Structure 1
């Protein structure tokens, strides 16, 4: 009988509690009016009468904890409940898939260097030490052009061939001097042998020695003449009185390795004479180029030889090409009141073309700091500078105190520890998520 009465009371409380809150309140009042001893006699457990209404009063675990309350608290935490767990203030719950989809980049906090730079406009020019003009040292006619415009050349490579009467005459003089030298050498050696045996007179020996010395001098002079005309030692050594064909042939070789950047003659053109072209090609080695900068007098005290330079274009398409200052002119331009400053940069991939306008970022100061973060990691929330620290569940807002800074990064004085991972890219997405969460808390 007691069990039946208790079941009726509990069932009535549950039904009325779910359908009619006012009636539930009345039932609660009526039940609370029943003396506790009477409820105990009926078999009801002691405690809050509201527990009778919910039907959870007797469901406790071995430690006395309310198991139904714990289940209700975590109803939505397993991904199958009716809602998501509510995040604490300043915390953004975000799964790794959402972080990747939002393209939020993260990086650990570490020490670094703050760099102050001076921005100066400049122009790319060739390195004068790596530009060569290939001249026609003799009067002649172009019979071969072996290189096209833009073609690469090696040092000493034959780039053109002329036919020159001047060269033919010089080679002929050398051959004649070579023949005379061989003859006078033979006569001198013969007279010397006879003189040593007291067979020949001393006067004959002296005449033979003088003739031999003159022949040797003449041979040396003709060889130097060929060298001055640009005839190489190998070509001179290959000359022979037995082969006098092609003495007018004159080879022109590249003085340095590079690329043909200009061709000034055509096939069959006369060169070297009065009113004629004196150069055939211009070769440039653009593996290293110069940047000519104009620095104002106000910025000039910050410039020093050897300072590092970063070259960029107007569109930042080729950012990060390093270089160094190699020259600072002691003379100012009287028209612009600026000083000419030269920086050299590597250009092996031929990215930088002479004549291009660029911007040079000159490093004027470098200062190491204990904690350095990029400016892209900073967001302003309620007037405070904050960063978002990566956690196991997502991100946590963290207020920071900043110190010195440059154009790209700042020093963190307080708020972060070395090794912590923070959002450094697209952190504005986290700021927006934080704003949404705070708006929900407000309601």
Structure 2
């Protein structure tokens, strides 16, 4: 009984499989919709696949002219145009402060007044001594005229007068040093002292910075020395102000090349009208070394490396054997330059207006391959490939298919 059930199950499975196979292949093949579905067209073959009449479909780009600049990148540090740390020349106790933290100060403005009581008294003493010495000198000169004193006595009193005047000048100089004034217009920093503090000679009081202009100091490799010159423009960006770019000019170059790093120190100046630039800020500097107004560029995809050389595939317009416009490939070695945002500068090998292949290179096995330009992005450089009308210029390049070469010879002999 069990064997009978197993045999029936196997027969049922076999019948179901045959029915499913017949439905999928016979029934679907006889469907009216399947019969009426057209075969896909080969006219819209993607780039790199064979198109109509054995042509190769490719995407193209145009050789354009644009302005390019050669730049050297470096990092640097901002410095103020003038900056000092205010320090006293003599020791003393602070009697008064003439500025506030962060205040704009003028040249000659009093910043710190030291206690000058003792020095002022010394000035008055020196003034009195000068008065006595001057009176003695005057009296002896009058007596000399009447021959009551010798010339030596007059010379002695004259010397005493000079000594007294020198002591007075010294006392006044010491009195002036009790006043610390601003050496230039600038911005005061945060003071490090208070009224009543006793300062030793050379102690730090406050830093003073001139922020009307700032310098940026940076280093460049020595290989850029032939291209650097005074007045060259630079562009500076700051991490603290990422949305802004500042223009500057090179003002000086260190005559000494650093032997350890083989680099030269360069200083450029920047305007700072709003005071946003501060000394010590980290800067990224782009130095413009040269500018080319009419550089030739092509898309990066158009350049093919091969055995240490660079090539592009030009799209050359010709006429086929039936006199219809056609396009063929022509491989050209090029010399590349700078690269900028998906574009490559071509120094040699192409001319402005040439059309080059940007996609589909794999199927272009040799020069003279018939090409079909595919426009995948609307406006395309395909319209720039104009067919040749007549004359020897319409001849196909070496390696073109036989029908293209025959058509070119026929055009040239008309």
TM-score by length of 1: 0.49
Q: Which residue of 2 aligns with 1:4?
A: none
Contiguous gaps of at least 5 residues in structure 2:
1-64, 303-312, 316-335, 354-375, 384-414
From the superposition, tell whether residues 220 and 190 of structure 1 become closer, same or farther in structure 2 (CA, over 3 Å): same
Alignment pair present for 1:254 and 2:254: no
Contiguous gaps of at least 5 residues in structure 1:
1-110, 233-249, 386-402, 416-430, 439-443
| Runs of 4+ with deviation above 6 angstroms | 371-375, 403-406, 408-413
Is the radius of gyration larger for structure 1 or structure 2?
A: 1
Q: Deviations over 1:330-366 (max 9, x none)?
A: 23262x5543332232223223222222221112123
The 5-angstrom pairing of residues 18-417 of structure 1 reads 114-127=68-81, 130-163=82-115, 167-196=116-145, 198=146, 200-203=147-150, 206-227=152-173, 229=174, 231=176, 250-272=178-200, 278-314=203-239, 316-328=242-254, 330-332=256-258, 334=260, 336-367=261-292, 369=293
Q: Deviations over 1:112-146 (max 9, x none)?
A: 9753221222222334xx11222222222223222
Verify the 8 A CA contact 1:137 1:230 in the aligned structure 2: no
Q: Deviations over 1:59-95 (max 9, x none)?
A: xxxxxxxxxxxxxxxxxxxxxxxxxxxxxxxxxxxxx
Secondary structure at 1:353 match in 2: coil
Secondary structure at 1:120 match in 2: strand
How far residue 258 of structure 1 moved from its aligned partner, in angstroms, is: 0.5
Secondary structure at 1:221 match in 2: helix
How far residue 189 of structure 1 moved from its aligned partner, in angstroms, is: 2.5
Report the RMSD for the aligned CA atoms in angstroms. Answer: 4.2
Question: Which structure carries more strand by proportion?
Answer: 2
Number of residue pairs matched?
A: 260
From the superposition, tell whether residues 258 and 407 of structure 1 become closer, same or farther in structure 2 (CA, over 3 Å): farther
From the superposition, tell whether residues 414 and 340 of structure 1 become closer, same or farther in structure 2 (CA, over 3 Å): closer
Q: Deviations over 1:261-284 (max 9, x none)?
A: 2422122211116xxx71222111
How far residue 260 of structure 1 moved from its aligned partner, in angstroms, is: 0.9
How far residue 148 of structure 1 moved from its aligned partner, in angstroms, is: 2.0
From the superposition, tell whether residues 432 and 136 of structure 1 become closer, same or farther in structure 2 (CA, over 3 Å): same
Verify the 8 A CA contact 1:230 1:252 in the aligned structure 2: no
Distance 1:384 1:306 in 2: 42
TM-score by length of 2: 0.52
From the superposition, tell whether residues 345 and 265 of structure 1 become closer, same or farther in structure 2 (CA, over 3 Å): same
How far residue 285 of structure 1 moved from its aligned partner, in angstroms, is: 0.6
How far residue 320 of structure 1 moved from its aligned partner, in angstroms, is: 3.6
